[in-house]
Amino acid sequence: MPLDFAICPRSETLRSLLQSKIDQKTKPLGSLGQLESLALQIGLCQDTLTPALNKPCIIIFAGDHGIVEAGVSAYPQTVTAQMVANFLSGGAAISVFARQNKLELLIADAGVNADLEGHPRLIDAKIGKGTKNFLTSPAMTAGDCIKALQAGADLVLQQHNNGCNCIGFGEMGIGNTSSAAMLMHCLTGVPLVECIGRGAGLNDDQLQNKVNLLQQALNRHKDIIEPLDVLATFGGFEIAMLAGAYFKAAELKMLIMVDGFIASSALLVAFKLYPQVLGFCIFSHVSGEQGHQALLEYFNAKPLLNLDLRLGEGSGIALAYPLLQSAVVFLNEMATFAEAGVDR
């Protein structure tokens, strides 16, 4: 399946100047800890000594999964559409946190198995009413996978054209931790059982059933190894759109805020095809979902928060965003020793 994104590595030309600017602030060297690393990364991503966060936005991609019919989730598939309605009405966790931190929130219907009512913040990007059950066939066709990737990229381009330079991606889709676990195993080699977690709240028996079902699916599709083939075989429309969104955001040199396990599994697909994507990514948190810690280690990533979150929706992004604001404001506004007349 062809892809054509021109993703260049993050610029490193200002690294020494940015580090010097950070070190000259009125504080002991390194005393702002990870916030200093964050300020450096944001400056490098934007290739400037005076970075800014313009029109920050979170897009939630929503889609349903055929594997749910096999019994991998504690919740019925109807919850996906119900939660989309909750996002739009402003009652979900991400709605509250985005509102708190003045983040624009958009919801993209990537493949919800329902006809959704129109709403100013709902984007109709539906590829189909859910994927197929990957226990018996590939989740989507190669053509639909490409359509989803391109749709995600197009949505990011729209936000960039509106002046956004800082973007994050959430997801909603009952059953999508199963897809994420399959992507993680196939693309990293981490044992499948270590990639599978409780999702939305499986008990021990349900978790073992999920493990058994995903092992069966792996046995059926064991020869699938190429990243886009793995995505088409096991992914969801919302995960594919996430991957396309990462491609385009990195191509446009936007600051990318990464959420939890499912969002990171989509990033894994993007990373396998364009490793330079990672240079533009800020990892908001480490999830309580089994597998996410190992996936972050695979990326050699240091998350900003560890709150045992496992909600998805982009909730970790919204909670971590104020740290990005603090990193930018100290870099731009904090006095230097010379300015403040303080001895070093």
pLDDT tens column, 5-27: 999 999 999 999 999 999 999 99
The question of whether 171 is a catalytic residue gets the answer no
Residues contacting residue 277 through CB under 8 Å, at least 6 positions apart = 7, 246, 247, 250, 256, 267, 270, 271
- What phi and psi values does residue 186 have, to the nearest 5 degrees? -65, -30
Whether the CB-CB separation of 284 and 320 falls below 8 Å is answered with yes
- What six digits make up the tokens of 13? 């030309």
Nearest to 97 by CA among 315, 308, 257, 269: 315
State the pLDDT at residue 246. Answer: 98
pLDDT in tens, 78-89: 999 999 999 999
User: Rounded to whole angstroms, how far apart are CA atoms 165 and 167?
Assistant: 7
State the pLDDT at residue 30. Answer: 97
The overall average pLDDT reported for the chain is: 96
Residues contacting residue 179 through CB under 8 Å, at least 6 positions apart = 65, 67, 134, 139, 234, 235, 236, 239, 262, 265
pLDDT at residue 344 is higher than 70:
yes
User: Rounded to whole angstroms, how far apart are CA atoms 130 and 144?
Assistant: 11
pLDDT at residue 1 is higher than 80:
no
Nearest to 244 by CA among 256, 233, 260, 234: 256
Nearest to 214 by CA among 298, 315, 324, 291: 291
- Please, which pLDDT band fits residue 201 given cuts at 50, 70 and 90? confident
- Residue bearing tokens 């010097």: 20
- Please, which pLDDT band fits residue 4 given cuts at 50, 70 and 90? confident
- Please, which pLDDT band fits residue 318 given cuts at 50, 70 and 90? very high
pLDDT at residue 58 is higher than 60:
yes
Helices (H), the chain: 15-23, 34-46, 78-89, 93-100, 142-161, 176-188, 192-195, 204-220, 227-234, 237-251, 261-273, 292-299, 315-333, 337-340
- Out of 238, 313, 333, 339, which one is annotated catalytic? 313
State the pLDDT at residue 322. Answer: 98
pLDDT in tens, 273-303: 999 999 999 999 999 999 999 999 999 999 9
State the pLDDT at residue 157. Answer: 98
Q: Where are the domains of the chain?
A: 15-51+329-340, 57-323
- Please, which pLDDT band fits residue 237 given cuts at 50, 70 and 90? very high
Domain 15-51+329-340 class, CATH top level = mainly alpha
The residue type found at 268 is L
- What phi and psi values does residue 36 have, to the nearest 5 degrees? -70, -40
State the pLDDT at residue 3. Answer: 80
The residue type found at 271 is F
Whether the CB-CB separation of 214 and 192 falls below 8 Å is answered with yes
User: Rounded to whole angstroms, how far apart are CA atoms 203 and 44?
Assistant: 44
Q: How buried is residue 104: exposed, middle or buried, by Cβ count under 10 Å (0-12/13-18/19+)?
A: middle
- Please, which pLDDT band fits residue 2 given cuts at 50, 70 and 90? low
Average pLDDT over residues 97-111: 98
pLDDT in tens, 125-157: 999 999 999 999 999 999 999 999 999 999 999
Whether the CB-CB separation of 84 and 194 falls below 8 Å is answered with no
CATH topology of domain 57-323: Rossmann fold (3.40.50)
